[in-house]
Structure 1
Amino acid sequence: MATAITEGIKISLEASYQKEFSNPNMHHFVFTYKVTIQNCNPFTVQLLRRRWEIHDAAESLKLVEGEGVVGQQPVLEPGNSHTYLSGCTIKSGMGKMKGYFYVEKLNDGKMLTVTIPEFQLIANIFNN
């Protein structure tokens, strides 16, 4: 599990290779990842945007940017957390992801840039 705390926001991630949805012969490797965002601050924040960097050993960098996470822009009161599951595909069995969440402090409108820690995408193609 990868974990980082930036601006009082704790991000924890765990990735899993999805063998049943992958096809190594066609260079198609599917991964899911579980993200938990916890607000450790004494103020409420709202996640507005995300920016992912997906590094694939077989390709160059792919950037994915957009509003919220899986169609939501969660509001996190002090001490609360939000967990979601998402996924990605890469062409090789090895890669990594990292990025940023952009959150707003709801008490004063200040924007915070929160680091999404780097985590590995490794296909365990030899395991049953």
Structure 2
Amino acid sequence: MSNTLTRGVRIVAQPRFVPEQSDPASRRYFFAYHITIRNESDIAVQLMTRHWVITNGEGKVEEVRGPGVVGHQPLLAPGEAFEYTSACPLDTPVGTMHGEFGMIRADTREGFDARIAPFRLAVPSALN
């Protein structure tokens, strides 16, 4: 799990292994992650872009960039939150994810990156 606050935007990431969609014999490990984005500032903000850095257990890095999250670019008033669940396949039983969401302040249209702290993707039996 990770929990990060950037300029009043809190991002909490909670990963979990999905065994029913994984096939270790084929080096396929499937992880879901639940993201909560909460506006703890006193100004509305809008999520515009995402950038993920996914690193497998052998150090191989993949980057994912795009507009919004799961087809949305949510506008969050002060105190509001947006939650979604997505997934990530890996070819190793452990890895990490981190990144940032590109945000815009509603009042000034100033952009900033809300950081997503690293969190571990791990098959429960892979870490003793």
What TM-score, normalized by structure 2, do the two folds share? 0.95
Residue 117 of structure 1 pairs with residue 108 of structure 2: no
Number of equivalences: 126
Match of 1:74 in 2: 74
Separation (CA, whole Å) in 2 of partners of 1:18 and 1:90: 11
1:19–1:125 Cα contact (<8 Å) kept: no
**Match in the other structure for 1:15:** 15
Query: How far apart, CA to CA, are the structure 2 residues paired with 1:9 and 1:46?
Result: 10
| 1:7 Cα deviation after fit | 0.9
**Alignment correspondent of 1:37:** 37
- Alpha-carbon distance between aligned partners in 1 of 2:25 and 2:59, rounded to the nearest angstrom: 17
Distance 2:11 2:28 in 1: 28
Per-residue deviation, 1:116: 0.5
Classify the secondary structure of the residue corresponding to 2:20: helix
Instruction: Give distance in 1, aligned partners of 2:23 and 2:58.
Output: 15
Unaligned runs of 5+ in 2: none
Shift of 1:107: 0.7
- In the alignment, the residues of structure 2 paired with residue 124 and residue 12 of structure 1 have an alpha-carbon distance, to the nearest angstrom, of 20
**Does the CA contact (< 8 Å) of 1:58 and 1:91 recur in 2?**
no
**Cα separation, 1, equivalents of 2:58 and 2:30:** 14
